[in-house]
Chain A
Amino acid sequence: GDSVTQMEGPVTLSEEAFLTINCTYTATGYPSLFWYVQYPGEGLQLLLKATKADDKGSNKGFEATYRKETTSFHLEKGSVQVSDSAVYFCALSDMSGYSTLTFGKGTMLLVSP
């Protein structure tokens, strides 16, 4: 079945550092790929998505590129802020795209001033 593997956290960075959170997936066909963010005490929020190979999703300074050849969708940000501290989840949906998501285990990001 489909699966998503993320790097384990926590990832601890100083403000303005460069962020990479690795994500690889296993799926049949051509899934859509997502990054969700979960702030403490809140539900999940869609951060960005990509629906086909070589697409780049971007939002709020975060970027991720759908790499079919390496089955990866790594999240990057050039300069993190304290407010980016949260748990980040990589996810995929099956070919139907109908909102049935398979999530990774999540990566906690802690940014210190």
Chain B
Amino acid sequence: ETGVTQSPTHLIKTRGQQVTLRCSSQSGHNTVSWYQQALGQGPQFIFQYYREEENGRGNFPPRFSGLQFPNYSSELNVNALELDDSALYLCASSLRVATNEKLFFGSGTQLSVL
């Protein structure tokens, strides 16, 4: 049990729709990272938020956006969904006090785009 919770656990959308995924960080953590894990692939870094500011972004288009709230929970928003967006979306929280901080992953949200 990592203390990182994601909702919903499963979601089905159609192409062109918009989706919001949510993540509650482990208590005391100030950094949230989002990853996309396509079937049979390793997770790919989408972006990271530190103290409510975006603090790094992977190779994902602008229709992937996010927020971090004052309580350090986070949202991932995806607009204009495409079939290739079908994947497991993982949230990871950490406490940034030094380099090599430990990530704690949630169980993910499985998104299916039809």
Binding site for B on A (CB under 8 A): 4, 32, 41-46, 49, 51, 89, 91, 93, 96-106
Contact = CB atoms under 8 A, between A and B. Distances in A.
Interface of B: 2, 4, 31, 33, 35, 40-45, 48, 55-56, 58, 90, 92, 94, 96, 99-103, 105-108
B99 A97 contact: yes
A10 to B, nearest CB: 11
Contacts of A101: 35, 43, 45, 103
A99 B42 contact: no
A99 B103 contact: yes
A106 to B, nearest CB: 5
A52 B89 CA distance: 30
A30 to B, nearest CB: 12
B99 A96 contact: yes
Contacts of A91: 42
Given A43-B105, A44-B90, A45-B105, A100 B100 contact: no
Query: 6 closest Cβ contacts across the A-B interface?
Result: A103-B42, A97-B99, A43-B105, A97-B100, A44-B105, A43-B107
